[in-house]
């Protein structure tokens, strides 16, 4: 008998919507303190999720939700790197 595997659900920090984990972008704070996009979703560290939409990333940044979730003060240069990486990855 085949059982369907339950898909993990995560909440977007920008819009607050709930989606399957694989449809969101994971931003991770590594044990070394770096903040970066985790395309595999498997890097060790504290993670936060946003939609593949630049507007959701902007909402998470503006509301300081990303800093709160990652429990780290984030430098403006890191935000620029995240924006650039999101633009390269593209939207939905």
Summarised one tens digit per residue, pLDDT across range 22-62 is 999 999 999 999 999 998 989 999 999 999 999 999 999 99
Alpha-carbon span 63 to 4, nearest angstrom: 37
- Location of structure tokens 């044990």: 31
- pLDDT tier at 20, thresholds 50, 70, 90: very high
CATH for 55 = 3.30.1230.10
Give the global pTM: 0.86
- pLDDT tier at 86, thresholds 50, 70, 90: confident
| Whether the Cβ atoms of residue 47 and residue 11 lie closer than 8 Å to each other | no
Alpha-carbon span 28 to 42, nearest angstrom: 10
Q: Is residue 80 part of a domain?
A: yes
Q: How many domains does the chain have?
A: 1
Domain with 78, as residue range(s), is: 9-89
Alpha-carbon span 70 to 84, nearest angstrom: 19
């Amino acid at each position: 008998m085949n059982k369907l595997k339950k898909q993990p659900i995560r909440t977007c920090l920008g819009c607050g919507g709930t989606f399957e984990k694989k449809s969101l972008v994971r931003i991770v704070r590594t044990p070394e303190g770096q903040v970066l996009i985790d395309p595999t979703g498997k890097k060790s560290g504290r993670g936060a999720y946003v939609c593949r939409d630049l507007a959701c990333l902007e909402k998470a940044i503006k509301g300081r939700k990303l800093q709160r979730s990652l429990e780290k003060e984030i430098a403006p240069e890191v935000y620029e790197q995240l924006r650039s990486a999101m633009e390269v990855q593209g939207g939905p």
